[in-house]
Amino acid sequence: MSDAAVKTKAPSEPLFSKKNKKLVTDPLTDNNPVTIQVLGICSALAITVQVEQGVVMGGAVLFVLILGNLIISLMRNLIPSRIRIIVQLVVVAALVIIVNELLKAFLPDVSEKLSVFVGLIITNCIIMGRFEAFAMANKPWPSIMDAIGNGLGYAGLLILVAIFRELFGSGTLYGFQIFGNSLPGEETGLYTLGYVNNNMMILPPMALIIVGIIIWVQRSRNKSLIEQH
Amino acid sequence: MESTLDIFIKAIFSENMIFAYFLGMCSYLAVSKTVKTAVGLGAAVIFVLTVTVPVNYLLENYLLKAGALSWIDESYADIDLSFLSFIMFIAVVASIVQLVEMIVEKFAPALYGALGIFLPLIAVNCSILGGALFMQDRQYSTILDATSFAFGSGIGWFIAIVAIAAIREKIRYSHVPGPLRGLGITFIITGLMGIAFMSFSGIKYGKDKPAEKTAVVKQTNK
Amino acid sequence: MAINRDSNSYTFGFAIVLVVAVGTILSVLAIGLKPQQEKNDIVKKQLDILSAMMDTKAKGISRKNAEEEFKKYVNLDDAIVLDVNGNIKEGVKAFDVDIKKEYKDKNMKDADRNFPLFVAELDGKKAYVIPVVGKGLWGPIWGNICLDEDMNTIKGASFGHKGETPGLGAEIAQPFFINRWIGEKISDENGDFAKFEIVKDGSGSAKESKVDGITGGTITSKGVEEMANRCLKVYSVYFKNSKK
Count of CB pairs separated by less than 8 Å, A with C:
72
Cβ distance B87 to A120 less than 8 Å, yes or no, reads no
- Candidate ranges B21-25, B217-221, C21-25, C212-216; pick with highest mean pLDDT: C21-25
Q: Same structural domain for residues C150 and C129?
A: yes
Q: Same structural domain for residues C66 and C155?
A: no
| Position with higher pLDDT, B2 vs B162 | B162
Please tell me which residue of chain B has the smallest CA distance to C222.
B209
Name which of A12-16, B35-39, B47-51 the model is least confident about.
A12-16
Of the residues C27, C55, C73, the one at which a domain ends? C73
- A91 residue type, one letter: V
Cβ distance B179 to A97 less than 8 Å, yes or no, reads no
Closest CA to B67 of B54, B76, B59: B76
Which pLDDT does position B216 carry in this prediction?
40
pLDDT of B152 strictly over 90: yes
Q: Same structural domain for residues C111 and C232?
A: yes
pLDDT of B108 strictly over 80: no
Distance CA C234, CA C127 (A): 17
Q: Once rounded to an integer, what is the mean pLDDT over residues B189-196?
A: 90
Show the domain range for C5.
1-73
A38 and B CB contact within 8 Å: yes
pLDDT of A200 strictly over 90: no
Q: Once rounded to an integer, what is the mean pLDDT over residues B21-25?
A: 81
- Give the ranges where A134-200 is alpha helix by DSSP (H): 140-170
C244 to chain B nearest CA, in Å? 34
**For the segment C199-225, what is each residue's pLDDT rounded down to a tens digit?**
877 666 667 778 888 777 777 888 888
If pLDDT is split at 50, 70 and 90, which confidence band does A26 have? confident
C157 to chain A nearest CA, in Å? 18
Q: Same structural domain for residues C119 and C209?
A: yes
Count of CB pairs separated by less than 8 Å, A with B:
154
**For the segment C118-152, what is each residue's pLDDT rounded down to a tens digit?**
888 877 788 888 888 888 777 788 888 888 888 88
Distance CA B63, CA B72 (A): 10
Name which of B4-18, C51-65, C175-189 the model is least confident about.
C51-65
Distance CA C179, CA C160 (A): 15
Distance CA C238, CA C86 (A): 5
Query: Out of A81, A97, A170, whose CB is closest to C167?
Result: A170
Which pLDDT does position A69 carry in this prediction?
92
Pair C50, C73: CB distance under 8 Å:
yes
Which pLDDT does position B32 carry in this prediction?
84
Of the residues C42, C57, C73, the one at which a domain ends? C73
- Candidate ranges A196-210, B138-152, C171-185; pick with highest mean pLDDT: B138-152
Above pLDDT 90, what percent of chain B? Answer: 18
If pLDDT is split at 50, 70 and 90, which confidence band does A13 have? low
Cβ distance A93 to B192 less than 8 Å, yes or no, reads no
Q: Same structural domain for residues C25 and C89?
A: no
Cβ distance B95 to A86 less than 8 Å, yes or no, reads yes
B195 and C CB contact within 8 Å: no
Which pLDDT does position B55 carry in this prediction?
92
Find chains touching chain B: ≥3 CB pairs under 8 Å.
A, C
Q: Same structural domain for residues C22 and C40?
A: yes
> A48 - beta bridge partners?
none
Residue A1 burial (CB < 10 Å; 0-12/13-18/19+)?
exposed
Which positions ≥6 away from C166 have C-beta within 8 Å? A49, A169, A170, A202
Q: Same structural domain for residues C16 and C38?
A: yes
Count: domains in chain C: 2
Show the domain range for B32.
4-221
If pLDDT is split at 50, 70 and 90, which confidence band does B116 have? low
- Candidate ranges A80-84, A96-100, C59-63; pick with highest mean pLDDT: A96-100
Closest CA to B55 of B122, B138, B5, B129: B129
Pair A204, A44: CB distance under 8 Å:
no
Question: For chain B, what percentages of helix, strand and coil (3-state, to nearest 5) are there?
Answer: 75, 0, 25
pLDDT of B128 strictly over 50: yes
A168 CB neighbours in chain C (<8 A) are none
Find chains touching chain A: ≥3 CB pairs under 8 Å.
B, C
Q: Same structural domain for residues C145 and C85?
A: yes
Which pLDDT does position B82 carry in this prediction?
78
Which sign, positive or negative, has the C-alpha torsion C203, C206, C208, C209?
A: positive
Q: Does ipTM exceed 0.85? A: no
Q: Same structural domain for residues C222 and C131?
A: yes
Query: Out of B133, B134, B195, whose CB is closest to A205?
Result: B195
Which pLDDT does position B164 carry in this prediction?
93
A204 and C CB contact within 8 Å: no
Distance CA B102, CA A172 (A): 52
Which pLDDT does position B162 carry in this prediction?
94
Q: Count CA atoms closer than 13 A to B28's CA, side-chain side.
A: 28
Q: Once rounded to an integer, what is the mean pLDDT over residues C184-190?
A: 80
Q: Same structural domain for residues C130 and C177?
A: yes
pLDDT of A228 strictly over 70: no
pLDDT of A40 strictly over 90: no
Cβ distance A108 to C10 less than 8 Å, yes or no, reads no
- Candidate ranges B35-39, B185-189, C43-47, C221-225; pick with highest mean pLDDT: B185-189
B141 and C CB contact within 8 Å: yes
Q: Once rounded to an integer, what is the mean pLDDT over residues B135-144?
A: 83
| Position with higher pLDDT, B144 vs C201 | B144
B209 CB neighbours in chain C (<8 A) are 219, 222
pLDDT of A5 strictly over 90: no
pLDDT of B219 strictly over 50: no
Name which of A95-99, A151-155, A213-217, B33-37 the model is least confident about.
B33-37
Q: Give the 3-state secondary structure of chain C.
A: CCCCCCCHHHHHHHHHHHHHHHHHHHHHHHHHHHHHHHHHHHHHHHHHHHHHHCCCCCCCCCCCCHHHHHHHHECCCCCEEECCCCCEECCCCHHHCCHHHHHHCCCCCHHHCCEEEEEEEECCEEEEEEEEEEECCCCEEEEEEEECCCCCEEEEEEEEECCCCCCCHHHHHCHHHHHCCCCCECECCCCCECCCEEECCCCCCCCCCEEECCCCCHHHHHHHHHHHHHHHHHHHHHHHHHHC
Count: domains in chain B: 1
Q: Same structural domain for residues C136 and C30?
A: no
Q: Same structural domain for residues C69 and C79?
A: no
- Provide the phi-psi class of B175: left if phi over 0, else alpha when psi is between -120 and 50, else beta: beta
Q: For chain A, positions 137-176, list CB contacts with chain B under 8 A.
A: none
Of the residues C34, C55, C73, the one at which a domain ends? C73
pLDDT of B222 strictly over 60: no
